[in-house]
Amino acid sequence: MVKLLNSQTVLKDRYRIAGPIGQGGMGAVYRAEDILLVGRICAVKEIAPDPEVGIDNLAQLQDQFRQEASVLARLDHPNLPKVSDYFTQAGREYLVMDYVPGQNLREIIETALNENHFIDEAKVLNWAEQLCSALGHLHGQDPPILHRDIKPSNIKLMPSGLIKLVDFGLVKLLTNDEARTVTVMQGQGTAAYTPLEQYGGDDAHTDTRTDIYALGATLYHLLTCRPPATARERFLSPGALTAPRTINPHVSPGVEEALLAALALHPDQRPASAEILWTALNSGSVPSTLAPLLLTDDEWRSTWRQNVPLVVLAGILLLAAILVTP
C-alpha cells in the first residue's frame, strides 16, 4: 500500500492536498484545492508504479502514462469528470480532474439493504442510460478506451441527478501495438464485475465488451442489491448465476433478458456495444403504468384479499348486465 500524502502537501506548486478520498494498491485519490483558481476543488489521482520494474521499464511506463493522460484530457462528456492536468512528481504520476460530489452507487445499494427495499427499476434505468452514453463516448475514441473497472463504488450520483463514471485510474487504450500493452493504468477489475477474459492480466482478448460485462454486473447489483456470481464461479458451476427476477420480481422480464445477455461468459454472446445494450434495456422495461403488475406471489395474494369485495361486486354487476341484455 502506497503511503498517503500529508494534508497541505502542495503538488506542482498548484494543488494543495486537503485529504484522501480513497486508496488502493497502486496509489490514492485526494481532494485538493487549486491554488491558482481560488475556490476550485478538484480530485487528484495518484498512481505509483512498482519500483521494481527497472529504470528502462519505468521510463516506458511514464511515457505511456503521459500519452494516455493526454487522451483522457481530450475527453468531453457530461457523465465523465473532466481531466484538466497531468504530471509526474517524486516518481509518481498524477491526474487532476473534476471533484464530483455525492454518493457512490455502492452507498446507495447499502442504504436500500438497510431499509429493506429494492432500488426502483426506472431510477436504475435512468442511470444505465447515462452510463451507456459515457461508455459509448469512451469506446468511440480512436483508439477505443476501456475503463476496465466499472462497479458501483466507481460511479457517483450527483445531487443534480447526474451520474459520473469517476475512476479513470484503470483505463486502457486498445491498440494492436504490443509495446503499448503495459501501462501504469492497467487494472484487473473487481471479481463480481470482471469477465473471464480479464482474469490473469492477459489483455489479448479484452475489448469493449469487457466493459459491457462490468456494466451488466453493476446494473444486476443495483436491481437485486446483490452482486452476481463471479465469472469464475459460473465457469465452474454454470447454474451459479441467479436470474434477477428470482431475487427481485419487480424487474421487468425484458430488462432481465438484457442483463443476462450482458453477463454472458463468452464476449461474442454479449451486446456488441453500449448503445445496443441500452436499446435492449429500454425496450425491455415495463411501462410505469404496468409496473404494479410485477408483483411477488405474496403481494398478489395480499392484493387479492384486499380487493375481494370489489371483485365480487364486479362479478355481480357483470352477471346482472348479462341477464338484462336482450
Query: Where are the strands (E) in the chain, listed by range?
Result: 10-11, 15-24, 27-34, 41-47, 83-89, 92-98, 103-104, 145-146, 155-157, 163-165, 172-173
Q: What residues are labeled active site?
A: 149
227, 121 in Cβ contact below 8 A?
A: no
193, 214 in Cβ contact below 8 A?
A: yes
In the 3-class helix/strand/coil scheme, how is 208-253 assigned residue by residue? HHHHHHHHHHHHHHHHHCCCCCCHHHHHHCCCCCCCHHHHCCCCCH
- Residue 57, Cβ neighbours under 10 Å: how many? 13
